[in-house]
Amino acid sequence: MVSFSSLFVAIAAVAGAYAAPANTTEGYELMARAGTPSSSGTNNGYFYSWWTDGAAQATYTNGGGGQYTITWSGNNGNLVGGKGWNPGTTSRSIKYTGTYKPNGNSYLAVYGWTRNPLIEYYVVESYGSYNPSSAAAKKGSVYCNGANYDILQTTRYNQPSIDGTQTFQQFWSVRNPKKTPGGSISGTVDVSCHFNAWRNVGMNLGSNHYYQIVATEGYGSSGTSTITVS
């Protein structure tokens, strides 16, 4: 994510992790420990997904309700995790609140996948030192929930995905300006506003939605993020 090519490397790694995570069941509390292993499942009525490549000192903890905490250090490696819903929808109004304190390259975003066709998507609310819109083709802009967002698109060729190695599109809305990181953060994302805007510029999501979470991602950085989703 430091450059166009490293952005691809980071997201490819994330996609591969999400393709085949370990599963858990309701009632299993994923607790923080050094090198919290990649996992996904349900917790307190919410779907969660957590992945790390193991290069960073990274811990993930599920809290009550829609809360999670991620702490990472070491300024290396790639990690992403969060809570939300499975399946996603085209009409959900997602609220989030908490603290987001990245040092370096990181995103806080609504994140998900669709099938038929296979699409990976981000609605980026805040980020650290790297603006993801610098490595994608701008397709337009949209005003949602009181803020402007740049609409962007990229293509991933023969890369890992939730369905194995595939060629697929990435759709992006990146808040401009971003919400300021480094402390308290909150907001609302009406996904229909973004999805409709994407469709208006020819970016059509798939008919089958997989998960839809509010994710914290870190790449070659450090930080902490405690977010509650509702």
Q: Which of 26, 29, 125, 217 is catalytic?
A: 217
Predicted local distance difference test score (pLDDT) of residue 32: 41
Q: Is the pLDDT of residue 5 over 60?
A: no
What does the pLDDT look like over 34-74, one tens digit per residue?
489 999 999 999 999 998 888 989 999 999 999 999 999 99
Closest among 172, 164, 181, 170 to 123, alpha carbons compared: 172
CA dist., res. 199 & res. 203, Å (int)? 5
Q: Helix/strand/coil (H, E, C) string of the chain?
A: CCCHHHHHHHHHHHHHHHHCCCECCCCCCCCCCCCCCCEEEEECCEEEEEEECCCCEEEEEECCCCEEEEEEECCCCEEEEEEEECCCCCCCEEEEEEEEEEECCEEEEEEEEEECCCEEEEEEEEECCCCHHHHCEEEEEEEECCEEEEEEEEEEEEECCECECEEEEEEEEEECCCCCCCEEEEEEEEHHHHHHHHHHCCCCCCCEEEEEEEEEEEECCEEEEEEEEC
Q: For the segment 186-230, what is each residue's pLDDT rounded down to a tens digit?
A: 999 999 999 999 999 999 999 999 999 999 999 999 999 999 999
The pLDDT assigned to 215 comes to: 98
Q: Are 43 and 83 in contact (CB under 8 A)?
A: yes
Could you tell me the pTM of the whole model?
0.85
Which strands make up the sheet holding 93-103, listed edge to edge? 57-62, 67-73, 222-229, 93-103, 183-190
Span 158-187, pLDDT tens digits: 977 889 889 999 999 999 999 999 999 999
Question: What pLDDT was estimated at residue 110?
Answer: 98
Model pLDDT for residues 71-126, shown as the tens digit of each residue: 999 998 889 999 999 999 999 999 999 999 999 999 999 999 999 999 999 999 99
At 211, phi and psi to the nearest 5? -70, 165
Exactly one of 26, 29, 120, 125 is catalytic; name it: 120
Closest CA to 184 of 117, 108, 84, 130: 108
Architecture label for domain 50-229 = Sandwich (2.60)
Cα–Cα distances (Å) from 169 to 57, 59, 114, in that order, read: 31, 30, 10
Residue 8 has pLDDT above 80, yes or no: no
What integer best gives the mean pLDDT of the chain? 87
Asked if 217 is an active-site residue, the reply is yes
pLDDT tens, position by position, 10-36:
333 343 334 333 333 333 344 443 489
pLDDT at position 51 is 87
